[in-house]
Amino acid sequence: MSPIMTAIAKNIKVALLQFYAGANKAENIKKATDFATKALKQHPDLDLLVLPECFNSPYAVDQFRKYSESIPDGETTKALSQFAKEHGVNVIGGSFPELGDDGNVYNTSLSFDKTGKIVAKHRKVHLFDIDIPGKMTFKESSSLHSGNKATVFDLPGLGRFGLAICYDIRFPELAMIASRSGAGIMCYPGAFNTVTGPRFWTKFGVARAIDNQAYVILCSPARNPNGGYQAYGHSMVVDPNGDVVVEAGHNEQIVYAELDPSVEKDARTAIPLSTQRRFDIYHDVSVDAKKGAL
């Protein structure tokens, strides 16, 4: 596969909205649009807004079904779609619990173009089931079902994106599929916690960026001073060379970055990984995905 030099169509101005969710769903949705409005007031020329994982509900396995809603007629979908349309801005809508037609609950991320149209839907593929003795036990699969596809999509005028959620980042195949399908940006709404976050969050962002010579966007909830699941925070953008462009702290805040296509082009030209891979020795994981899984 030859290098794709136009994976990012232009300099993209992006805002990462880092906030925490409370128990009131309507208030959580309003907080999301309030943060989005604030970002646009500070930077009216923004191209893209990115929200955190599970932004309309508490991050708790016993709460996901209670807060779940159908797509596209649920209140969260309607609010994000309307905001994107009214403000003429692209939105990667973090994630929220989706009630599927099959009756199962999924951790789902929606992306919207500037007209408010849904251009991508990703159901979290890898569920967060861990047991760290003496520190943390968490089992998403006790209430959530997993998605079954890699997600790659285009935002008109910006370029091609890959989309995954939180624990998905530990599995490099999704980013590989996106990159080899022409994506120059990989976005992960994620809620790493205060145990796994300090140890792994930045490392995974840097690794996925270097592996695929792509920008990586990580958007986390802020830490909640009222208790419950404590997200790590530290939303960040990593460039195709693995350098952290911007990083939040752990409190509620908005951070901004500009994604420069020349950085991606220079990285891919200087070290042409895409022409040096040895698919005669190891399998290209993107082949099967391109046959219809995207």
Q: Which residues are catalytic?
A: 53, 124, 166
Give the integer Cα–Cα distance in Å for 27 and 33.
10
Residue pair 186/217 in contact by the 8 Å Cβ criterion: yes
The pair of structure tokens assigned to 28 is: 């959580």
Query: Three-class SS of residue 197?
Result: helix
DSSP state of 74: S
98: closest CA among 135, 143, 32, 38?
A: 143
Report the alpha-carbon angle 225-230-231, nearest 5: 115
- Extract the runs of DSSP E, i.e. beta strands, from the chain: 12-18, 48-50, 90-92, 96-99, 105-112, 118-123, 129-132, 136-139, 151-155, 159-163, 185-189, 215-219, 236-238, 244-247, 253-259
Query: Three-class SS of residue 107?
Result: strand
Give the integer Cα–Cα distance in Å for 211 and 200.
16
With tokens 């508490």, the residue in question is 58
Residue pair 148/124 in contact by the 8 Å Cβ criterion: no
